[in-house]
């Protein structure tokens, strides 16, 4: 079960208010990146009566910031409309606006993981803050695959969410000790497999020993190739396709158990 949730205080809301488009502002720290092409596509087929209601936060100084619906706002602007209908929320901080954005988009048109991550940081959401703290400690960032950056945003967040920030910290340490600092070391499948293994059996594992066993088994690139090969062949024992992270977990488990007496093996 996830360890983190989004919390928002009770506050006043006016529903279905007609607002001037020119009055609406965008806070890039609490929003996803605007896709101009998507906005133009909406504008090209815009039906005024079907555009729906956007979400707006009115701050203490009276300024109104879009929380959800910036593409519909931009499309309406491109279509020459002067007003749009909005639900106006009062008394929220910038952090709470960011949390409201995440709540509104959790079950609908989800933002890109990297946008969700940056908005979550603005909102001070523990999941994102804890993840960022661990990444910074390892001199890593999120967003692209490189020596000092992890491209698997969802995979890293999933480790923190399911198993905690301490498991993410151990995962990154083991990956670096096994394979060094490289884009291949931060592959989402490999990190996910190590994270799952530690999340399930971490109290039985000596981290430096696990790193040595992973290093002796194969390079990060070969590990990735093995995961892809096993996944495409239906996983272990042809028990179903399974996820690539689950396959990676099984490979980590096998590396840990290799050469051990049955009594000392970890059962998966």
Q: Where do the domains of the chain lie?
A: 13-106, 126-264
Residue 103's pLDDT is what? 84
Residue 51's pLDDT is what? 84
pTM score, whole prediction = 0.65
pLDDT of 33 higher than 60: yes
Residue 133's pLDDT is what? 96
Residue 87 half-sphere exposure, CB side, CA atoms within 13 Å?
Answer: 14
pLDDT of 109 higher than 90: no
pLDDT of 239 higher than 60: no
pLDDT of 5 higher than 80: no
Question: Using CB atoms within 10 A of its CB, is residue 243 exposed (0-12), middle (13-18) or buried (19+)?
Answer: middle
The span from the CA of 137 to the CA of 96, in Å, is: 26
The span from the CA of 99 to the CA of 6, in Å, is: 6
pLDDT interval class at 110 (50, 70, 90): low
Q: Which residue has the tokens 């491209």?
A: 151
Of 57-66, 97-106, 151-160, which gets the smallest average pLDDT? 97-106
For every residue of 124-181, DSSP letters joined together read: T-HHHHHHHHHHHHTT-EESS-BTTEES-HHHHHHHHHHH-HHHHHHHHHHHHHHH-S
Residue with the bigger pLDDT between 151 and 2: it is 151
Residue 132's pLDDT is what? 95
Count other Cβ atoms within 10 Å, centred on residue 127. 21
pLDDT of 34 higher than 90: no
CATH architecture of 13-106: Alpha-Beta Complex (3.90)
Count other Cβ atoms within 10 Å, centred on residue 219. 16
């Amino acid at each position: 079960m996830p360890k983190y949730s989004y919390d928002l205080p009770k506050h006043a809301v006016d529903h279905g208010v007609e607002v001037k488009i020119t009055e609406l502002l965008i806070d890039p720290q609490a929003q996803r990146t605007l896709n101009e092409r998507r906005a133009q596509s909406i504008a090209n087929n815009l039906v005024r009566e079907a555009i729906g209601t956007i979400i707006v936060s009115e701050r203490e100084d009276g300024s109104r910031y879009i929380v959800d619906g910036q593409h519909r706002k931009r499309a309406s602007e491109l279509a020459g409309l002067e007003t749009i209908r909005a639900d106006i929320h009062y008394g929220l901080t910038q952090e709470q606006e960011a949390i409201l954005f995440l709540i509104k988009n959790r079950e609908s048109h989800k933002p890109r993981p990297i946008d969700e991550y940056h908005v979550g940081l603005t909102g001070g959401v523990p999941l994102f803050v804890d993840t960022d703290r661990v990444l910074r400690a390892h001199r890593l960032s999120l967003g692209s695959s490189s020596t000092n950056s992890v491209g698997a945003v969802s995979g890293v967040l999933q480790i923190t969410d399911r198993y905690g920030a301490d498991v993410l910290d151990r995962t990154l340490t083991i990956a670096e000790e096994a394979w060094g600092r490289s884009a291949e070391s931060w592959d989402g499948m490999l990190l996910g497999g190590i994270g799952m293994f530690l999340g399930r059996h971490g109290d039985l594992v000596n981290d430096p020993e696990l790193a040595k066993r992973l290093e002796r088994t194969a390079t990060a690139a070969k590990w990735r190739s093995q995961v892809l090969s096993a996944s495409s062949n239906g996983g272990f024992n042809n028990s179903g396709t399974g996820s690539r992270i689950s396959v990676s977990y099984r490979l980590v488990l096998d590396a840990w158990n290799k050469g051990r007496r049955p009594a000392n093996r970890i059962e998966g």
